[in-house]
Structure 1
Amino acid sequence: MTRERQNRPSRTDVPTAVNVSTVSDTTAAPTAPTTPDATAVALAGGESTRFGHGHKALATLDGESLIRRVVGTLRTVTGRPPIVAVRTADQRERLTAALPAAWDVRFVRDAERLSGPLAGVTAAASAAETPWLFVAGCDMPLLEPHAVAALFERAASRNGDGDRLISADGDRPASTGGDRSVPPAIVPVSERGHEPLHALYRRSAVRDNVSELAPDDGLGALLDRLDGVEYVGFDALPASAGRSVTNVNTRTELARVAAGCEVRR
């Protein structure tokens, strides 16, 4: 069993949101939960071409499917059932069977006009009722509640320091200028670049801008259209953010995660 697996909080049939203001990065169970006003979205509409035979969301790590690990963590951090976005009816049927019925997961079909992650985010933005969406891939088996919850805290408090934020190009500090207006998205930035599949999006910002995007555009194109996106350096997030953004595209990468090795994307 990997160290990351051992540090994962227990998950019951009743989701309990994480309160990062009262929980350290290594604590397993929060004591004073608050529910962020957000819906989590697990994107599972990909064809898994690099993974080989079968849907990678159904591959297992420590005896648990990736989709169950991701959805379980998202329930923990938001305190409400996540949305799972799929492309086909077959994907929905297979993933439904992999998740407990008591979790009340909602499925949506990717927006037909669009492709890739943007299609799933767009469909979720139409189905959700909360002002925020937290978006993650179904192939992120080390997703960490505290790393996710830190983004919710940032959205709520709007008190990030300018010298801990970085600009969209990742090179120079981005000034907050004392502006506490709500950003259209909050996106972590690691040494390897933006992490749009571990990010918060304003639901209204998605809905107001997707009509201007081309069918083959991705989340990067959406972010380029949004004014005031908050890009947050990893130094402003819990230490677990580094493993939380890990995604697996191949069976070899999954094997490396299972062995406790870092996966370079």
Structure 2
Amino acid sequence: MLISTFPEISAAILAGGRASRFGGRNKALIEVEGVPVIGRTLSVLEPLFSEIIIAGWPLGDPLPQGVRAVTDNYPGIGPLAGIEAALRACESPYLFVFGCDMPWLSGEMIIRQADDFLRAPSDILAARIEGLYEPLHSVYSKSIQPSLAGYIEGGGSPTIFDFYPYVATRYHDLPVTEETRKALTNINRPEDIIR
């Protein structure tokens, strides 16, 4: 049996999106330093979380072992739908959410943020750096799933942080370092891989 660092927190990787700048290729399967981004991500997350969910995984792409794919209930509205789907499906009371295009995640940074969350759980522990939100490096309580679904169905903004005021949101200020910036980097264009 896998013993994880955070048994009360599941992890979700959001893999939806068109990836138009990559010719529609699944960004999670693009290689960075010879390893697919999804492989790099899983190597960081697997020791920390016993349940890993991928929301919005493209049909036809091979699903990595040990993860469970879920489908968005609200396709076409972006990451907010992936968070809702993962919250609906996760077995843990809390969910740490990541983007599928973040090849340089830091296990130490994740541990510090998860520890901060567990010291004083809230509906959302939103990461931010220099006042900018990082919703795809944040912790969400499963209990907000009905509120989030209602927000989406009511025509709420698809921007994740516009939902923050509707629930009890705390902020985790990340240190302003090169390590932090690298860990939060996502690949949106082929030239981002070269960084």
TM-score range, shorter chain: 0.7 to 0.9
Distance of aligned partners of 1:192 and 1:154 in 2 relative to their CA distance in 1, 3 Å threshold: closer
Identity of aligned residues (%): 28
RMSD: 2.3
Q: 2:164 aligns with which of 223, 226, 229?
A: 223
Query: What corresponds to 1:43 in structure 2?
Result: 14
Shift of 1:132: 0.5
Aligned to 1:94: 61
Partners of 2:77 and 2:55 in 1: how far apart? 12
Instruction: Give the Cα separation in 2 of the matches to 1:73 and 1:156.
Output: 19
Residues 66 and 125 (structure 1), Cα distance of their counterparts in 2 relative to 1, 3 Å cut = same
Counterpart of 1:230 in 2: which secondary structure?
strand
Q: Normalization by structure 1: what TM-score? A: 0.66
Q: Which has the higher contact order (CA 8 A, sep 6+)?
A: 2
Compute the displacement of 1:115 (Å).
1.5
Letter in 2 for 1:131: P
Partner letter of residue 200 of structure 1? Answer: V
* Deviation readout 1:187-219 (Å, 9 max, x if unpaired): 111126110000001111233232123276131
- Output aligned runs, 1:165-204, within 5 Å: 182-191=121-130, 193-204=132-143
1:245 pairs with 2:176: no
Alignment of structure 1 residues 94-173 onto 2, 5 Å: 94-96=61-63, 99=64, 101=65, 104-112=66-74, 115-158=77-120
Q: What is the letter of the counterpart of residue 142 of structure 1?
A: W
1:146–1:238 Cα contact (<8 Å) kept: no
Tell me the number of residue pairs that the alignment of Structure 1 and Structure 2 aligns: 193
Cα distance in 2 for residues equivalent to 1:15 and 1:240: 29
Whether contact under 8 Å (1:187, 1:194) holds in the other structure is yes
Taking structure 1 as reference, are residues 215 and 47 closer, same or farther at Cα in structure 2, changes over 3 Å only? farther
The letter of the residue matching 1:65 is P
Match of 1:82 in 2: 52
What SS class does the counterpart of residue 77 from structure 1 fall into? coil
Deviation of the 1:15 alpha carbon = 5.2
Distance 1:199 1:143 in 2: 13
The residue matched to 2:98 in structure 1 has which SS? strand
Taking a change above 3 Å as real, the CA distance of residues 109 and 212 of structure 1, as seen in their structure-2 partners, is same
- 2:31 and 2:174 map into 1 onto residues whose CA distance is 28
CA distance, structure 1, for counterparts of residue 142 and residue 177 of structure 2 = 25
Contact 1:134 1:200 (C-alpha < 8 Å) held by counterparts:
yes
